[in-house]
Amino acid sequence: MKRIIAIVRPEKLEPLKKALFEADVSGMTIGQVMGCGNQHGWSEYYRGTEVLLNMIPKVKFELVVPASEADKLVELICDTATTGEVGDGKIFISPVEEVVRIRTRERGEAAV
């Protein structure tokens, strides 16, 4: 199994959520996060003083999927979330050793 973490622009929340459900993803965790990367934020003036705002709002998607599905879903995320501009986001992929469903104590892919 693989864990996919995708950090994307807030305006891509609904299109990406819809695309993932259409791809039969059984579940996901979504959260609003703040971060910075190559965009480095922007400057604004507050009471006559320039303030650098370097934390930019993003949306974080987390999915645990069978390893055989990971590449397909990464391509789907890229296709759906891209604008071609700096700040489109990042995708992190890592192995998952075990998953346990708390209610039934099922393990492995059956718990996903």
Instruction: Write out pLDDT tens, residues 40-87.
Output: 666 778 788 877 777 888 999 999 999 999 999 999 999 999 999 988
What is the domain partition of the chain in residue ranges? Answer: 2-111
Please check the confidence at residue 36 and state whether its pLDDT lies above 70.
yes
Angle between helices 67-81 and 13-22 (to 10 degrees): 140
Residue 17 has pLDDT above 90, yes or no: yes
Q: What is the average pLDDT score of the chain?
A: 92
What global pTM score does this model have?
A: 0.85
Residue 53 is predicted with a pLDDT of: 72
Model pLDDT, residue 39: 64
Count how many Cα atoms sit within 13 Å of the Cα of residue 61 in the half-sphere of its side chain: 32
The span from the CA of 74 to the CA of 40, in Å, is 25
Residue 57 token pair: 């709002």
User: 100 or 48, which is more confident?
Assistant: 100
State the architecture of 2-111 in CATH terms.
2-Layer Sandwich (3.30)
